Each structure stands twice: as structure tokens, then as C-alpha cells.
Amino acid sequence: MDRDHAHGLLREMLRIRRFEEKAAELYSLGKIRGFLHLYIGEEAVAVGAMPALGPEDAIVSTYREHGHALARGLPAGALMAELYGKASGCSRGHGGSMHFFDVSRRFYGGYAIVAGGLPIATGLALAEKMQGRAGVVACFFGDGAVDEGEFSESLNLAALWKLPVVFVCENNLYAMGTTLARHQAQTDIRLKAEAHGMPAEAVDGMDVLAVEAALRHTVEATRSAGGPRFLEARTYRFRAHSMADPELYRTKEEVEQWKRRDPIATFLTRLREQALLTDADLAAMAATVEGEIEAAVAFAEAAPWEPAEDLTKDVYTP
């Protein structure tokens, strides 16, 4: 394992964790309002995935997209300002937590609609193919999206037209409070992808290196051989579905059990065991991350509100 690369992966996971812990704190202070879905516990998926994707590739995510956006390189300040609803936010404060967007980094959302990103990703992949470009689209979505018609429609067309898209299902076992077995007769999601005519595999979504290896070979296979691929990342969210969820559908013991597989803590242990990380390295990294998050909050605090006359600017109907 390359030391610098490993440090980079750890730093990215720490950035996401601290960004979201701070967002939760700011939510309870009333600085951030509306919906807020935290990715805490799932960081290894976004962080493992991004090194496999270049600037020519595109990303589509869900409403639980803070981690993907940070790992893709959207500035933390622009994301925090978006959570505040400020005009300096990445979506000019119009979108909030669920609608991070940055076309310059080919980050095409952030979607509030479950499975809504799949047809968008499929369309982006169709554009890549029609325009003769080599980009691959990585589409992230949850286990709940498997229920939707858009899931079948998108997978079918992507396979039929051999489009360069990698579908990454972040299976965290729950769609709000509903487990897969309560809404699907077939709980092996890979079989659903294979039934649509594409290769599918599963990966331990709590292991950042395993995710990176899986994404690298999946993205490369898609780029060179053409046609979509499917990856199921098995993961778990440590926090509630959103800020308003009493979590009556799972036990504290289950959550504690998964926390023992915390992607950050387990990676830390691994790096220490292999003498790739010292306490001083970690302290320095934590201080850098803390500084970045503090600066992001300061940026959001100081950022302007959109002028009242702009409120109806992007509204289509009177």
C-alpha cells in the first residue's frame, strides 16, 4: 500500500465525517434547515470510488450526497453555504442539502427523488457514447431505489445500448425504516442487474481499499469493453435516516455491532499495524481537516443571502 495514497483516503473520510458532524451541530442550532441526510458510516464508498474516476467522468448521486461531493473535490465552503441556503452555495442556495451540483466538476446532483438519478446517469452515458467521448458515468443510489420503475428502465436501456455507466448501489440495509426483505422478494440485488444483462458484483462497502479496487476494475471494464456494470456496496449508516427519525426500526445493538466496523477506525488500525501512520501524522491530518471545516463554516456564515427579488428567478410558472 502506498503511504501517501493511503493517507489521502483517510483524510478524505475524515473530511466527510467532520463536515457532517458539524452540519448536524449546525442543524440543531437552527443554522441549517429543511432535510439533512447524513452519510456517516458510509464514507468508504464515496472515498474508495473517486480515485477510479477522472475529470472526464461524471457522477450522479442521491440526497445523501455530501460525501460524494466532498470526495469529488467540490469545495467544503460552497457546500456548507449551500446547506445554509446562501447565495455562495454550489447551487446558489436554491437546493440545500439534497441538491449539491457542480457542472465544472461533472457532479450532476444531488436528487431528492429516490432512483431519480438513474435515468439522468443513463442519459449522460448515452451522450458520452453519441459524442464519441471516453467518459464513464458513476451513478450512486440506495437499496430503496431498486423498487422503482426507473431502476429497471435505466438498467435495461443502459445494457441494450451498451452505455458507459457504472451503477453503484449503496446497500445500507434500510430504505428509511424498511429493510430490503420487506419490499423485495429477491434480496440479492446483483441478480436483478444480471437479469437486465450486465455483470454485477458485491463489495464490502466498509473497506475503502476493497471499494477502490472494485471501482477501478469496474470503471476500466466499462471504459474499455463498453456496456454498463453493476456494483453493490454493502454498507451501513450510523445515524438516523434524516434529522427527524426516531429509529424505531432497528436496535441499538445492531448499530453498535456495525460501528465496530467503522470504515475510518478499521482503516486507521490497518495503517498503524503496517506502520504507515504515526500519531503525529494523524494529529496533523485531524488539525488540517478541522481547519478546513472551520473555514467552511466561516465562509457560509459570511456569505450573502440571495436578494429577495431573485426568489422567483428560476420558477417556471407564475
24 binds, among Mg ion, ligand TPP, none (CB under 5 to 8 A by kind): none
Cβ proximity to ligand TPP, 167 vs 299, nearer residue: 167
Cβ proximity to ligand TPP, 64 vs 72, nearer residue: 64
Which of positions 131-150 make contact with ligand TPP (CB under 6 A)?
A: 142-145
Residue ranges in contact with Mg ion by CB under 5 A? 142-143, 172, 175
Q: How many residues bind ligand TPP (CB under 6 A)?
A: 13
Cell of 114: 429516490
Cell of 37: 441526510
Cβ proximity to Mg ion, 57 vs 65, nearer residue: 65
**Spatial contact of 64 and 245, defined as CB atoms under 8 Å apart:** no
Does 255 sit near ligand TPP (CB under 6 A)? no
Does 233 sit near ligand TPP (CB under 6 A)? no
Cβ proximity to ligand TPP, 7 vs 184, nearer residue: 184
Does 176 sit near ligand TPP (CB under 6 A)? yes
Task: Out of 78, 79, 114, 198, name the contact with ligand TPP by CB under 6 A.
Answer: 114
Does 89 sit near ligand TPP (CB under 6 A)? no
Return the axis-axis angle of helices 76-84 and 3-28, rounded to nearest 10°.
20
Cβ proximity to Mg ion, 119 vs 205, nearer residue: 205
Cell of 276: 504507515
Cβ proximity to Mg ion, 57 vs 143, nearer residue: 143
Does 64 sit near ligand TPP (CB under 6 A)? yes
Does 181 sit near ligand TPP (CB under 6 A)? no
Segment lying near ligand TPP (by CB under 6 A), choices 66-74, 110-118, 183-191, 203-211: 110-118
Q: Which residue is nearest to ligand TPP (CB)?
A: 142
Amino acid letter, residue 137: V
Residues near ligand TPP (CB under 6 A) are 64, 112-114, 142-145, 172, 174-176, 241
